[in-house]
C-alpha cells in the first residue's frame, strides 16, 4: 500500500463545465426537465467512445450536447459547480480551473453575459462553501466562426480579475486553424488572461506548434502529440509550457490504446511540465484522483514523482500566491508522512524537486482537504495573483487576473 492519492494536494487545470457534472446529477436533471437520455448516458454509462475518426467524434459531441441540454436553470448551474467543487475537495484538489463555453447555455440563461455572470456567481459561492479556489476559463469553439471567439474573448477580458483566469479553445482541432483565432487570443492576452488552447490531442505536433506560435499558449490542453517530436518537446520544456495531460480521456477517445500508451514518461523525461486532468469525467467515468492512480499503476510513478506531478499542477495554475504556497506545503507534508505500506520509491528515474524530503516517520499529516485557500479576498484584483517569475509565463506587467477564493476564515 502506498500513500493515498486522494489526500495528495493538487490543482485541477483541465475540467469542462458540462463534462464535470456528476452522472447521478445528469440523470436527476434529465428526469426533472423531461429530457430522455440515450442508453449510453443512462443504463450503459459510461459510454464507449471513439474520437479519432469523424463519426466517433460526432457521436461524442452529440452525447455532450444532450448532457448540456439538462442544464437549464440558475439552480442547475449552481448545483453543477458546487458539486464539482465538492468532488475536488474530496480528491485533495485545492484549486480548480473550470472551462466553459457560455454559448451553449446563453439561450436558456438570458444571453452570453448573464450566462458568464451566473457561472462566476456560482463559482464564487462554491469556493466559499467548499474551500476550493476556482478560476473560470472561457473557452471558444474551434468549429465556430472566429468572430464568435472574439466576442467570447471580450467577455472573458471584461471579467478578468473577477473570476476569469484564462481563455481557451476547444472542440475538434482537425477543424479550424489556430491562426484564425489569434485575434481572439490577443484580446484575452491584453487583459492578462492565460492562453490555454486545446492542441495535440486529435492532431499531431504541428497543431501544438500552432498553439505556441499563433496563440502564444501558456498551457496546452492535452498536447500529448508533442511526445512524437523531440524538438517541440524541448521547446515546451524550455518555455515551461504546462501540458494538461488527461489519461482517461485519451484512452476513452482512442488517442491512446491503453493507459500505458499515454506518453506520460516521455513527456516527463524530457522535462515538460505536466498537470493531470480529468477533462470530462461525465463522459469518461473517471475523475481527478483516478488520473494519478493511473500514473502510479500504468506508469509505475513513485510517490515522489506523483508529488512532483501535483507540484506541477499547482505551478502551472493561475492560483493566487497564498493558495499556491499552501498547496505546495501540503504536498511536502503528504510526502513527509509515513508511507502506510513502507514501500520504497518505485522504479524509474525520478526527477525529484530540490525540496524532495526523505520520508519522515514523524511527518505531519496532510490536511484532508489538501490546502484550504483561506485569507484571500474572493475578488482578488489583477494585482492579487502575481506569479513567481520562474513558475509560469506572465503577462508583460507580470500580473495575472485572480480567481475566486473563499473569504478568510477564523483560525
Binding site residues, Zn ion, CB under 5 A: 279
List the catalytic residue out of 88, 97, 117, 201: 201
| Calpha distance 177→169 (Å, rounded) | 11
| CB-based closest residue to Zn ion | 279
Q: Between 279 and 367, name the residue whose CB sits nearer to Zn ion.
A: 279
Q: How far apart are CA 340 and CA 172, in angstroms?
A: 43
Closest CA to 210 of 262, 183, 173, 264: 173
Phi-psi region of 243 (alpha: psi -120 to 50; beta: other; left: phi over 0): beta
**Burial of residue 268, with CB atoms counted within 10 A of its CB: 0-12 exposed, 13-18 middle, 19 or more buried:** buried
Cβ proximity to Zn ion: between 302 and 317 the closer is 317
Cβ 109 to Zn ion shortest distance, Å: 22
**136/138 Cα distance (integer angstroms):** 6
CB of 16 to Zn ion, least distance (A): 6
Separation CA 345–CA 247 (nearest Å): 22
Backbone angles phi, psi at 388, to 5 degrees: -65, 135
Catalytic annotation on 214?
Answer: no
Residue 229 phi, psi dihedral angles, 5° rounding: -140, 100
Between 91 and 303, name the residue whose CB sits nearer to Zn ion. Answer: 91
Q: Which is nearer to Zn ion, 60 or 95 (CB)?
A: 60
Give the span between the Cα atoms of 145 and 126, in whole angstroms. Answer: 33
Residue the block writes with cell 484584483: 381
Residue count (the chain): 411
Shortest gap between Cβ of 20 and Zn ion (angstroms)? 11
As measured in angstroms, the least distance from the Cβ of 254 to Zn ion is 15
Q: How far is the CB of 88 from Zn ion (least distance, A)?
A: 16
CB nearer Zn ion, residue 244 or residue 332: 244
CB-wise, 211 or 335, nearer to Zn ion?
211
* Sheet strands (E) in 88-181: 93-100, 133-141, 164-170
Contacts of 51 (CB under 8 A, 6+ apart): 57, 60, 202, 252, 253, 254, 255
Give the phi and the psi of residue 160 in degrees, each rounded to 5. -60, 135
- Helices 74-90 and 112-130: angle between axes, nearest 10 degrees: 40
- Write down the least CB distance from residue 242 to Zn ion, Å: 14
| Residues forming the active site | 201
Amino acid at each position: 500500500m502506498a500513500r493515498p492519492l486522494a489526500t495528495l494536494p493538487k490543482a485541477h487545470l483541465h475540467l469542462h463545465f458540462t463534462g464535470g457534472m456528476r452522472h447521478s446529477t445528469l440523470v436527476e436533471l434529465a428526469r426533472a426537465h423531461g429530457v430522455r437520455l440515450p442508453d449510453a448516458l443512462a443504463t450503459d454509462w459510461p459510454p464507449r467512445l471513439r474520437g479519432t475518426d469523424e463519426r466517433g467524434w460526432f457521436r461524442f459531441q452529440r452525447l455532450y450536447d444532450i448532457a448540456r441540454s439538462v442544464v437549464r436553470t440558475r439552480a442547475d448551474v449552481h448545483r453543477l459547480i458546487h458539486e464539482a467543487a465538492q468532488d475536488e475537495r474530496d480528491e485533495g484538489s485545492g484549486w480548480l480551473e473550470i472551462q466553459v463555453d457560455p454559448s451553449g447555455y446563453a439561450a436558456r440563461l438570458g444571453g452570453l453575459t448573464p450566462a458568464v455572470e451566473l457561472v462566476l456567481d456560482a463559482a464564487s459561492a462554491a469556493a466559499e462553501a467548499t474551500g476550493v479556489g476556482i478560476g473560470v476559463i472561457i473557452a471558444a469553439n474551434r468549429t465556430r466562426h472566429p468572430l464568435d471567439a472574439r466576442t467570447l474573448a471580450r467577455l472573458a477580458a471584461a471579467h478578468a480579475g473577477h473570476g476569469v483566469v484564462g481563455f481557451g479553445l476547444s472542440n475538434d482541432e482537425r477543424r479550424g486553424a489556430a491562426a484564425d483565432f489569434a485575434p481572439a487570443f490577443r484580446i484575452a492576452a491584453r487583459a492578462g488572461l492565460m492562453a490555454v488552447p486545446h492542441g495535440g490531442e486529435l492532431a499531431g505536433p504541428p497543431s501544438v506548434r500552432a498553439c505556441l506560435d499563433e496563440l502564444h499558449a501558456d498551457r496546452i490542453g492535452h498536447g500529448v502529440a508533442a511526445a512524437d517530436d523531440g524538438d517541440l518537446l524541448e521547446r515546451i520544456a524550455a518555455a515551461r509550457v504546462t501540458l494538461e495531460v488527461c489519461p482517461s480521456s485519451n484512452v476513452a477517445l482512442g488517442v491512446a490504446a491503453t493507459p500505458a500508451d499515454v506518453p506520460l514518461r516521455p513527456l516527463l523525461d524530457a522535462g515538460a511540465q505536466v498537470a493531470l486532468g480529468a477533462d470530462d469525467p461525465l463522459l469518461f467515468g473517471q475523475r481527478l484522483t483516478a488520473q494519478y492512480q493511473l500514473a502510479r499503476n500504468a506508469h509505475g510513478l513513485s510517490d515522489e514523482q506523483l508529488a512532483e506531478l501535483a507540484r506541477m499542477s499547482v505551478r502551472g495554475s493561475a492560483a493566487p500566491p497564498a493558495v499556491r504556497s499552501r498547496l505546495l506545503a501540503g504536498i511536502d507534508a503528504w510526502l513527509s508522512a509515513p508511507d502506510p505500506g513502507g514501500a520504497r520509491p518505485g522504479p524509474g528515474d525520478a526527477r525529484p524537486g530540490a525540496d524532495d524530503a526523505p520520508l519522515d516517520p514523524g511527518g505531519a499529516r496532510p490536511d484532508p482537504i489538501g490546502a484550504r485557500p483561506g485569507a484571500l479576498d474572493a475578488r482578488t484584483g489583477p494585482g492579487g495573483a502575481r506569479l513567481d517569475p520562474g513558475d509560469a509565463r506572465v503577462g508583460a506587467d507580470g500580473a495575472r487576473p485572480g480567481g475566486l477564493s473563499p473569504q478568510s476564515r477564523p483560525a
